[in-house]
Chain A
Amino acid sequence: MTDKILSFLTERGCSVPRIGLLQPADPFLDTAGEDLRRRIFLTADQAGASLCLRPEFTIPVCLAHVADPREPARYAYAGTVFRQRRDEPAEFSQAGIEDLGDPDEAGADARSLADAMALLRHVAPAADWRVTLGDQAVFDAVIRALGLPDGWRKKLVRSFGSPEKVEGLLAALGAPRERANGLPPAISAALEAGEEPALRAAIAESMASLGFPAAVSRTPRDIAARMLEQAALDNARLGEDQIGELRDFLAIEVPLDRAGAALRAFSARLGGGMDRVLEAFEARVARIAELDVDISRIAYDAAFGRPLDYYSGLVFEIGLAGADRPVAGGGRYDRLLTLLGARQPIPGVGFSVWLDRLPIDRALKGDAA
């Protein structure tokens, strides 16, 4: 089956990189986070290096591109991946495309969504789909337009996609924070005076006397900067109206053909300032429509996102109508390739399909592979 899927994807202009079953574990844990550790199959070689059975394809595909990034390219894959899961087998199949280096953001985004839908229709023609689309950049722009202080903006952007976390933050940011002041006198004085150089010097002195090397972890500069940032935040409070606006934004859920208008109306309420992001959003919708995708059947959900720091724009999820678990997930991850060692920023967008969750068409199932 994977051979037939690969030939379908290469017909759409993709190349197929060789990705081994055994992968170095660090890139997965570094990017997706330690939470992945209990879900992958970890092992070690004789030299002690951590290896794992391939838990997904995106990161190895990106690493292969980072090693030789001269040309933008679309990479296809289909094969077995391994993850420890509660109710599903640990060994299962995934297929997808990663589109790396294409500067035409709207075009590449649209093509990724259209490719995902085409692949799903190809392997399971009889199924009925629901498609949800979100945009991390729009949320970021809303927070900027609301004029929140930097420290809070970053916190909110990080929790985007996790409704409980956003709710928790909104509650916390609306309440005053009491900070126990057990600071050494020199540091306390410099903080109160708001003098960064003095504060930094006092921290450096105390690090040296307590035996912490200044250059291997957080530096006096890092600590001083965040102390000043926090001191400013402690005196600020998120207003009722700002919280209300944010909640209203997160509640927006409309068919994609009406999403642009809904976001324009919301932006007007905030007094504008979101034009560049909204233009990009609308350009992407237009490009999706050009690819024969019925945009009235795609749901735009303003609260839909992924709380992973490398997702940067489009996110989408496709499920079988009436079922909870997604059968495909995709999105733009412009920050991922730098995390994986690329010297220059390389844009990327891609999707992945969980083949084992699909009612696979008989003709494809024919061969054993």
Chain B
Amino acid sequence: MSLTLALPSKGRLREQALEKMAAAGFPVTEPSDSRSYRARMEAEPGIEVAFLSASEIARELASGNLDLGVTGEDLVREAVADWQARMQVEARLGFGQADVIVAVPQVWYDVDTMADLEDVAAEFRSRHGRRLRIATKYWRMTQEFFSRTHGIQVYRIVESLGATEGAPASGQADVIVDITSTGSTLRANNLKVLDDGLILPSQACLVSSTGERSPADAALLARFAGAFAATA
């Protein structure tokens, strides 16, 4: 009987995840060597703890290599196309809040909504000889939001792995889809969020991977997850 649980390996997310574990009655005994990526739970030896990067946790959950993980909902949704078939959000943990949003240059005074942006995208090619470009690291969510929710087809995604907010001013892209917690980076780059441009209010979640488990493991998973659903 054993389950693998992955926690974020770095920074505030790691600290807050450890606090949350303790608060739910599952304190993690941190490794004596701080460089080690393994840890144990005295109260529940059936759960092995590993420390991984948050995005790796999402990917490993998607491929079924982990039973449980604490990671951002944005990363879970972006990891694979059919994430609901492979993973389940057991509890939202109340930290790591950040919104995935659509932002445009402040000087686009005529653009406040996705409907406005659709007009702009539709005319873009004839005016500029290219499609409207969106810089983002969230191409799945962007596509889902633009194409499915808002019926906007004509745009191009420019994959951006860092400093996405700078893309409009540097001319790499026209608009961005990015994550923001306080909005200060957006303001500093003179970008504004569209009125209906909230794609996902994200936060850290306890996520399980779907898949076959022994009855004992399934019961342990349910008991563990239940402790968080109650405190969340």
Task: Please provide the chain B residues from 106 to 158 with a CB less than 8 Å away from any CB of chain A in the complex.
Answer: 106-110, 112, 115-116, 118-120, 122-123, 125, 127-128, 130-131, 139-140, 142-143, 146-148, 151, 153-157
- Choose from B127, B146, B147 the contact partner of A222 (Cβ within 8 Å): B127
- Contact mask for chain A residues 89-127; partner B; CB cutoff 8 A; 1 contact, 0 none: 000000000000000000000000000000000000000
**Cβ contact within 8 Å between B153 and A30:** no
CB distance from B156 to the nearest CB of A (A): 6
Write the chain B residue with the least CB distance to A220: B107
User: Out of B108, B123, B128, B131, which one reaches A30, CB within 8 Å?
Assistant: B131
The verdict on A37 contacting chain B, using a C-beta distance below 8 Å, is yes
- State A183–B143 Cα separation when bound (angstroms): 30
A226 engages B190 (CB within 8 Å) = no
Report the interface size for chain A: residues with CB under 8 A from the other chain. 39
**Which residues from A are CB-within-8-Å of B156?**
29-30, 34
| Segment from A128-136, A153-161, A258-266, A347-355 that makes contact with B | A153-161
Q: Which of B108, B148, B156, B168 is the most central at the interface, judged by chain A CB atoms within 10 Å of its CB?
A: B108
List the one stretch of A12-20, A208-216, A323-331 in contact with chain B. A208-216
From known contacts A37-B157, A218-B108, infer whether A309 and B147 are also in contact, taking CB-CB under 8 Å.
no
Interface residues of A (CB under 8 A from B): 29-30, 32-35, 37-38, 151, 154-155, 158-159, 162, 165, 172, 179-180, 183, 187, 203, 206-207, 210-213, 216-218, 222-223, 226-227, 230, 307-309, 339
How many pairs, one residue from A and one from B, have CB atoms within 8 Å of each other in the complex? 93
Chain B residues near A151: list those with CB within 8 A. 119
Is B174's CB within 8 Å of the partner chain A?
A: yes
Asked if A213 meets B131 with Cβ closer than 8 Å, knowing A34-B146, A207-B107, the reply is no
CB distance from A157 to the nearest CB of B (A): 10
A38 touches B151 (CB 8 A): no
Measured CB to CB, the nearest residue on chain B to A157 is: B122
Q: Does B215 make an interface contact (CB < 8 A)? A: no
Any A CB within 8 A of the CB of B23:
no
Question: Does B105 interact with chain A (Cβ within 8 Å)?
Answer: yes
Alpha-carbon distance between A172 and B196 when the two chains are bound, in angstroms:
15
Known: A213-B171, A218-B108, A226-B119. A38 touches B131 (CB 8 A): no
Closest 10 CB pairs of A and B: A33-B153, A216-B171, A35-B147, A210-B190, A226-B110, A227-B110, A217-B174, A207-B107, A211-B169, A165-B151
Inter-chain CA distance A295–B116, complex, in Å, is 42
Q: Are A162 and B151 in contact, with the CB atoms below 8 A?
A: yes
Shortest Cβ distance from residue A190 to the other chain B in the assembled complex, whole angstroms = 11
Residue among A37, A154, A216, A309 making CB contact with B154, cutoff 8 Å: A309
A227 and B168 CA atoms in complex are apart in Å by: 20
Do A154 and B122 contact each other (CB < 8 Å), given the known contacts A29-B156, A33-B153, A309-B154? yes
- In the assembled complex, the Cα of A165 lies from the Cα of B153 at a distance in Å of 13
B171 to chain A, nearest CB (A): 4
The answer to whether the Cβ of B81 comes within 8 Å of any Cβ in the partner chain is yes
The CA of A223 and the CA of B116, in the complex, are separated in Å by 11
- B37 CB to closest chain A CB (Å) equals 31
- Given the interface contacts A37-B143, A187-B109, A203-B109, does A307 sit within 8 Å of B119 by beta carbon? no
Give complex CA distance A32, B147 in Å. 11
User: How far, in angstroms, from A217 to B132 measured CA to CA in the complex?
Assistant: 9
- Docked pose: A212 CA to B165 CA in angstroms: 13
* Cβ-closest chain B residue relative to A230: B110
Question: Which residue of A is nearest B142, CB measured?
Answer: A34
Contact A218 B122 (CB under 8 A): no
Chain A CB within 10 A, most for which of B105, B116, B139: B105
- Whether A34 touches B157, Cβ cut-off 8 Å, given contacts A213-B171, A339-B125, is yes
> What distance in Å separates the Cβ of B169 from its nearest Cβ neighbour in chain A?
5
Query: How far, in angstroms, from A162 to B150 measured CA to CA in the complex?
Result: 12
Which listed residue, A29, A165, A183, A213, touches B109 by the CB 8 Å rule?
Answer: A183
- Do B120 and A226 have beta carbons less than 8 Å apart? yes
Complex-state Cα separation, A41 to B147, whole angstroms:
19
A37 to B168, CA, bound (A): 23
Bound CA–CA A165/B147 (angstroms): 12
Residues B177-223 near A (CB distance < 8 A): 190, 195
Contacts of B142 in A (CB 8 A): 34
By a CB distance below 8 angstroms, the chain B residues around A179 are 112
Q: Which of A33, A165, A339 has the most CB of B within 10 A?
A: A33
Q: How far is the CB of A333 from chain B (nearest CB, A)?
A: 14
Contacts of A339 in B (CB 8 A): 125
Complex-state Cα separation, A172 to B190, whole angstroms: 30
Which interface residue of B105, B143, B154 has the most chain A CB atoms within 10 A? B154
Q: Are B155 and A34 in contact (CB under 8 A)?
A: yes
**Do residues A33 and B147 form an inter-chain contact, with CB atoms below 8 A?**
yes
User: Can you give 29 A-B contacts (C-beta < 8 A)?
Assistant: A30-B130, A33-B147, A33-B153, A34-B142, A34-B156, A37-B139, A37-B143, A38-B140, A154-B119, A158-B118, A165-B151, A172-B115, A179-B112, A187-B109, A203-B109, A212-B105, A212-B169, A212-B190, A216-B171, A218-B127, A223-B107, A223-B109, A223-B110, A226-B119, A226-B120, A227-B110, A230-B110, A308-B153, A339-B125
Check B115 against A34 for contact (C-beta < 8 Å): no
Contact A218 B151 (CB under 8 A): no
A35–B155 alpha-carbon span in the complex (Å): 9
* CA–CA, A210 and B147, complex, Å: 30
Chain A proximity mask over B84-116: 1 for CB below 8 Å, otherwise 0: 000000000000000000000111111010011
Bound-state CA distance A29–B159 (Å) is: 14
